[in-house]
Structure 1
């Protein structure tokens, strides 16, 4: 086991064609990173273009920034590697990672779904036996990924992500380019969900997906459970 996790973040700061701000939802990165780092895993950060990752200003409100999120956010390493100088997909060797984790925030809906470099990394990590994880809108990074046989990776698998009802409640349903739940279903996935804004995670073999901004810690803990069991099984 490589003891390394790849965290994917967005470069998009605005909803397309508008001045309405978006970006990475801070807690969906920081909470996950906190759990994995405490368990001894190294984290690398990648974004479609590399470099700067904008934060959704709403995710910086006191309502959403708990002690764990703030502690991670204030770390120099996170500020530099996690937000200012993320790697490009070309700088990543997929065999180095036990898992890839797609963070959310509405920005990802514009630069995750059709990024072929990210899709190639995802397939390579999956075929190496690694885990594919996402939270909230991060499912957008998995929706269009196809395997070598031409089938969608999520076809026939249980997944979750930010639901249509949550999108309506967030007030952004008219600004987003698509609805996660609708696309996941149309690509053959079984989209499962809990009530809006309640922590929920579902696993289907190598896929571990969380529903909303309340779910990154649950995704991390589920991934950790699997990685710990894998190590025990190999000894």
Structure 2
């Protein structure tokens, strides 16, 4: 009897052990694996609110390609984009940038994108945005920034704060005009000793606006101590130096966006 009892106990314990092991396996299979949560990076786009090309009576604003190309380049990679401008609301579009000769895949996509158009029509005022809410700042060009964003104190302060907090600052074509009055903490120009590019004097002459614009982007960057370089007129060209990313012309917008993405990864 003792031997039989002992045998029954061994069988019972073995059965319990197997049941426990089976339950543990089932639990492992049923429990969902924890997925890695990657928070999307947030980029602030700042567009001009200036619509007049000097005293010529001609309209200006931002260049659509320089907005649409980086906008979709970043958005398609999961970046969250917020739009702002000095006055808020709808920023002026340079009418020339909507002509057939200047259409690209990104501008065509924008023309049919109601969501993007609605977002553009409701940009925040620069006074409403804070550096702490974003990972980078991007400035599309067009002639407008030469008049307003180069002198706008809110824009100047934002750029300085982004830079001070180790966050990238990107600008393309005429938008490097925003560095006209930006300073380092020691009072020197933000671009001093930095590799930069922007709309060339030759490109400005080609569009016959050398005598109309308040200053030439190429000359200003050099005067501020920037190490200016360029490609042949109208060729894609972008430069990265630390936190500063700049592009030469409309064709350089995707290069700037690509460098910004790599910087944020």
Give the one of 96, 114, 124 matched to 2:161. 124
Q: TM-score, normalised by structure 2?
A: 0.83
1:104-125 CA-to-partner distances (Å, cap 9, x unmatched) read 1111111011111011111111
Q: Which runs of 5+ in 1 are unaligned?
A: 229-235
Q: Which runs of 5+ in 2 are unaligned?
A: 1-38
Report if aligned partners of 2:40, 2:80 keep a CA contact under 8 Å in 1.
no
Distance 1:164 1:52, change over 3 A: same
1:5 aligns with 2:43: yes
Q: Aligned residue for 1:110? A: 147
SS in 2 for 1:161: coil
SS in 2 for 1:214: helix
Q: Aligned residue for 2:31? A: none
CA RMSD of aligned residues (A): 1.2
1:58-117 CA-to-partner distances (Å, cap 9, x unmatched) read 1011221112222134322321222x2211111111012111111111111110111110
Q: Aligned residue for 2:113? A: 75
Number of matched residues? 227
1:173 aligns with 2:244: no
Q: Aligned residue for 1:232? A: none
Q: Distance in 2 between matches of 1:125 and 1:52?
A: 24
Q: Aligned residue for 1:37? A: 75
Report if aligned partners of 1:2, 1:98 keep a CA contact under 8 Å in 2.
no
Q: Aligned residue for 1:135? A: 172
Q: Distance in 2 between matches of 1:142 and 1:2?
A: 28
Report if aligned partners of 1:2, 1:96 keep a CA contact under 8 Å in 2.
no
Q: Aligned residue for 1:48? A: 86
1:96 aligns with 2:136: no
SS in 1 for 2:147: helix
Q: Aligned residue for 1:211? A: 248
Q: Which has the higher contact order (CA 8 A, sep 6+)?
A: 1
Q: TM-score, normalised by structure 1?
A: 0.93
Q: Distance in 2 between matches of 1:205 and 1:7?
A: 19
Find runs of 4+ consecutive structure 1 residues off by over 6 angstroms: none
Q: Distance in 2 between matches of 1:146 and 1:74?
A: 40
Q: Distance in 1 between matches of 2:248 and 2:50?
A: 21
Report if aligned partners of 1:13, 1:22 keep a CA contact under 8 Å in 2.
yes
1:221 aligns with 2:258: yes
1:188 to partner: Cα distance: 0.7
SS in 1 for 2:89: coil
